[in-house]
Amino acid sequence: MPFDRDEKRWICSRGPMVNLQRVSSMVKEISMDPCINRSPSKGSKPLKQEKWQSLFDDNGKLSGFRTALKLIILGGIEPSIRAEVWEFLLGCYSSNSTAEYRKQLRMARRERYADLIKECQTMDPSVGTGTLAYAIGSKIMDTRTFLKDNDLEETEMAANHAKKGSYSHVDKNDTDTHFNRTASHSDSSIHDPSYDSPFSDACNCFSESVMDVDESSFSSEHFFDFPPLPVTNLFQKDSPEEKCCQMHRCRSFSEHKPNDSLCTSQSKSNTFFSANTSSHNSNSQTETSNSNIEGQIQGQKKRDLKSDVINRLRTSDVSEEVIMSTPIPNGLNSRIDRASEWRWTLHRIVVDVVRTDVHLEFYEDSRNLARMSDILAVYAWIDPATGYCQGMSDLLSPFVVLYKDNADAFWCFEMFLRRLRENFQMEGPLGIFKQLETLWKILEHTDTEMYTHLSVIGAENLHFAFRMLLVLFRRELSFDEVFSMWEMMWAVDFSEALTKRLEGNCLEPLVLQQFKDPNTENEIGTKHVPSKYNSDEFVKCEDNGAEHHYSYPFCGLSKANFWAKHNQMQISTLSTSSRNIDDGLPVFIVAAILITNRQNIMRNTDSVDDIIKIFNDNLLNINVKRCIRMAVKLQNKHFSKRSSK
């Protein structure tokens, strides 16, 4: 990066800090430089491992986090410690937490993630197995079979796809041996096929199975590209093949003894699907089997509630969690709808996963694509209001690459999304539109020439910046540059106000509760608290024998103890008023990109089309550090202007 050369010029707070042409008006205005670090010598170096480790106290509390933030803003993070530092930057862990606490929290999170994976497995057996639910990892998304009666054609097809460069052909029809062939994975806890833990959601599914579902869902034995889903009315046409398979599913259900489904996850899944999709004629049988199963599940649940209290940091029974955390306006009906919707979402996820960063060697191993798919699937399940939205896979991919453990990657991704959720709303990318409005104001106040030019060519809506803001420069920068951009961006935007806001944004299925004896401060265990918790208050737990303990939100952040006590110095750039999505650093980075490329843009754009082309085809020069520096200045200017009003 041609960055080091102009580093010193910028570090000094006097005069034009950025060597740009025709930006004097802007530079004058923004030269009220916050000057994050006035020492040039520290400027461009990334945060190093030794330095990072020296910032922890004896208990493992990150007492020097503010120092770390300053260094990150200026130089990013050394790759060897990136994964660890990101967790603090994203707010997964408080700087005031001890090493022991973080370790326990991490374990609890991994357990919760494993539970969520198991839950998703009941709806699609491929989740958590290292294989993709639908595709085989090829860009050509069509390697599934639905011509079950024609093995010849299948063989032919496999050959055809091998020729076209698909990774491998996994025979999804062979569900019985599916788990035996489970790929070895980075986090073994998730992929244990033997389910000794709570039976989880399968119980709900059975009881739901008596419901009349006209349109079949898809079965694990038959892989239609687009499973007909009861929640949408997009499946009006019933092809002969589908009817045939529906009948087959009914048969396969009757062949499964429901009790057997408790033994292995695979048969459980099969039964779920069969039951879920069975039509009227199998209702009576299903009902009978349900009562047996439910009885067993109740017993299982009781045992698990006890073990919750006994085992330290044990997370709660997933099935209980989901029942409680999911709004159930129509009871089981909505639950079954949600599962159907999720399976449809899973398809969309796979469509995008197989075309996300596949140029990277890392993703030549299709198990890594499956990791990406799993995390997105789990996210879509716990956040049905957001589900999956295109662009999320771009945002997740760096975490999959960086973290060996899927749960750790998931939690970082989820913390990241807490900031961005508004960009991915069902009703449209509202967060992005807000940011574009802010961008327009920024340009109006800092670069009138650019502002006028964009007005003249009719680009006031600034839609050309949509992609940059949605996937945060993933399409414009290299993978390494994105690492730097993101960590600097997070470090700049890090504030108590933001972390408080993030804490409040926690999805209910992810709330882990930690019990503490108020006298001894010893952690007793964790459980899920279904209601929206209030981080400012202790929650008195009345159930499952834990009445005498008080619980804390077992979260990386909490208002009271966010900063280590001896680390509460004020730094102007770091303690800002409450920031919203529309005035976080990304929009200022886009402004900086516009300003640093103003010559190119002014000369070469005569119309909206031209500027869209320049942005989409990556014809802009983006220097990460330089953009961050300018964005920080723009942001400070913006805030000072706002507060002076």
Partner 1 sequence: MAKKMDNEYDYLFKIVLIGDSGVGKSNILSRFTRNDFCLESKSTIGVEFATRTLQVNDRTIKAQIWDTAGQERYRAITSAYYRGAVGALLVYDITKKQTFDNVQRWLGELRGHADSNIVIMMAGNKCDLKQLRAVSEEEGQELAEKEGLSFLETSALEAINVEKAFGTILGEIYHIVSKKALAAQETAAAAGPPSQGTTINVSDSTGTKKSCCSN
Interface with partner 1 (CB under 8 A): 138-142, 144, 146-147, 153, 156-157, 160, 164-165, 224-226, 234-237, 239, 348, 351-352, 355-356, 358-359, 389-391, 393-394, 424-429, 433, 461, 463, 466-467, 470-471, 475, 604, 609-610, 612-613, 616, 619
3 state SS of 178: coil
Residue 77 phi, psi (nearest 5): -130, 140
Shortest spacing between CB 186 and partner 1, in angstroms: 24
Q: Are 309 and 162 in contact (CB under 8 A)?
A: no
Quick check: helix, strand or coil at residue 587? helix
Closest approach, Cβ 23 to partner 1, in A, equals 22
Cβ at position 395, least distance to partner 1 in Å: 11
Sheet holding 513-516, edge to edge: 523-527, 513-516, 550-553, 539-540
**Residue 446: is it exposed, middle or buried by C-beta count within 10 angstroms (0-12/13-18/19+)?**
buried
Residue whose CB is less far from partner 1, 328 or 358: 358
> Residue 152 CB, nearest distance to partner 1 (Å)?
10
> Nearest CA to 29 among 446, 492, 462?
446
Does the CA dihedral 370-371-377-378 come out positive or negative? Answer: positive
Q: How far is the CB of 616 from partner 1 (least distance, A)?
A: 5
Identify the bridge partners of residue 516 per DSSP, sorted by sequence position.
523, 550
Give 12 or 140: the residue with its C-beta nearer to partner 1.
Answer: 140
DSSP state of 527: E
Residues whose CB is less than 8 angstroms from the CB of residue 645 and which lie 6 or more positions away in sequence, other chains included: none
Instruction: For residues 77 and 490, give the distance between their C-alpha atoms in angstroms, rounded to a whole number.
Output: 12
**Smallest distance from partner 1 to CB 476, Å:** 11
Residue 63 has φ and ψ, to the nearest 5°, of -70, -25
Closer residue to partner 1, CB minimum distance, 5 or 237: 237
Smallest gap from Cβ 360 to partner 1, in A, equals 10
By C-beta, is 474 or 527 nearer to partner 1? 474
Smallest separation (angstroms) from partner 1 to the CB of 561: 38
Distance of alpha carbon 356 from alpha carbon 371, whole angstroms:
12
For the bound state, the minimum distance from the C-beta of residue 359 to partner 1, rounded and expressed in Å, comes to 5
Measured in degrees and rounded to the nearest 5, phi and psi for residue 644 equal: -80, -10
Q: Report in angstroms how near the CB of residue 466 gets to partner 1 at its nearest.
A: 4
Q: Which is nearer to partner 1, 111 or 357 (CB)?
A: 357
Nearer to partner 1, 79 or 428 (CB): 428
CA distances from 101 to 93, 108, 639 (A): 9, 10, 36
Report the residue number, 147 or 183, with the smaller CB distance to partner 1.
147
Q: From residue 139, give the alpha-carbon distance in Å to each of 130, 351, 617.
A: 18, 8, 22
Task: Write down the least CB distance from residue 137 to partner 1, Å.
Answer: 11
Burial of 11 from C-beta contacts in 10 A (0-12 / 13-18 / 19+): buried
**Cβ distance to partner 1 smaller for residue 511 or 587:** 587
Rounded to the nearest 10°, the torsion over CA 328, 307, 104, 405 is -70
Q: How far apart are CA 520 and CA 170, in angstroms?
A: 54
162 burial type by CB count under 10 A (0-12 exposed, 13-18 middle, 19+ buried): middle
Residue nearer to partner 1 on the CB measure, 167 or 563: 167
CA dist 232 and 236 (Å) reads 9
Rg (the chain; Cα; Å):
27
**106 φ/ψ angles, rounded to the nearest 5 degrees:** -60, -45
Which residue number, 157 or 539, has a Cβ lying nearer to partner 1?
Answer: 157
Minimum distance, C-beta of residue 604 to partner 1, in the bound complex (Å): 5
Placement of tokens 């063989």 in the chain: 155
Going by their DSSP bridges, the two strands 550-553 and 523-527 should be labelled as unpaired
DSSP letters along 193-214, please? ----S--TTHHHHHHHTTS--S
Least distance in Å: CB of 394 to partner 1? 8
**What is the nearest approach in angstroms of partner 1 to the Cβ of residue 516?**
42
The dihedral built from the CA positions of residue 82, 88, 89 and 91, taken in this order, carries a sign that is: positive
Considering the complex, state which of residue 234 and residue 571 has its C-beta at the smaller distance from partner 1: 234
Q: Which is nearer to partner 1, 471 or 488 (CB)?
A: 471
Measured from the CB atom, the residue of 242 and 317 that comes closer to partner 1 is 242
CA 226, chain centre distance (Å): 24
Residue 87 vs 394, nearer CB to partner 1 = 394
Q: Tokens 């709660």 sit at which residue?
A: 316
Structure tokens at 314: 């044990």
Ramachandran bin of 539, using left for φ above 0, alpha for ψ from -120 to 50, beta for the remaining angles: beta
